[in-house]
Amino acid sequence: MNFIYTLILILFFTNIQATVIVNSVIRLKDNIPEECGLAFVDKDRKFNGELVIKKHDSQNTLTVFSVIHKDLKVKSANLKTFSIDISKILEKENLEKDSFKIESITKNNDMTKFFQEILISGGRFLINNESYEIIGPIDSKVRLEYLFCTGEMFLPNYERK
């Protein structure tokens, strides 16, 4: 009986322990959000990544996904939710030599759905052949900061001329 109890505890503990810590990204220009997104770091602090959006026009955003690893040359990276794959939304080549960065103009609806899924359900962060789990839902403070940032960024009275 103790063996089964111990096995259940190990399995349960393993499933709830996040391997990726998620924080919000908010960059301001003239006190108005210019970039909103999420920052990802593994629990050992070997890599960090960012997925940020920047308002392009009323229907589109510029989306940037970047990853830096202390010990590895990052040849490929991806961020996946249960139904969306960021590399398929961005569909661009890596822009960097030793790190990873892709960016593209994306539809607001595509990015809204992606962020909604990752904030609520979590996902997977992939670097080269390694996979790291993002446990959802993401901390409520991070969710609120992201939602507040994007809400402010897309307010019509903040349109830049």
Q: How many C-beta atoms surround the C-beta of residue 47 within 10 A?
A: 23
Amino acid 18: pLDDT: 52
| Cα distances (Å, whole numbers) of residue 112 to 33, 46, 97 | 17, 28, 30
Residue 148, H or E segment: helix 140-153
Partners of residue 36 on adjacent β-strands: 26, 53
| Cα distances (Å, whole numbers) of residue 42 to 45, 67, 79 | 5, 11, 13
Average pLDDT over residues 35-54: 94
Length of the chain, in residues: 161
pLDDT of 51 higher than 90: yes
Domain ranges of the chain: 19-156
Whole-prediction pTM: 0.84
- SS3 state of residue 92: coil
pLDDT of 10 higher than 60: no
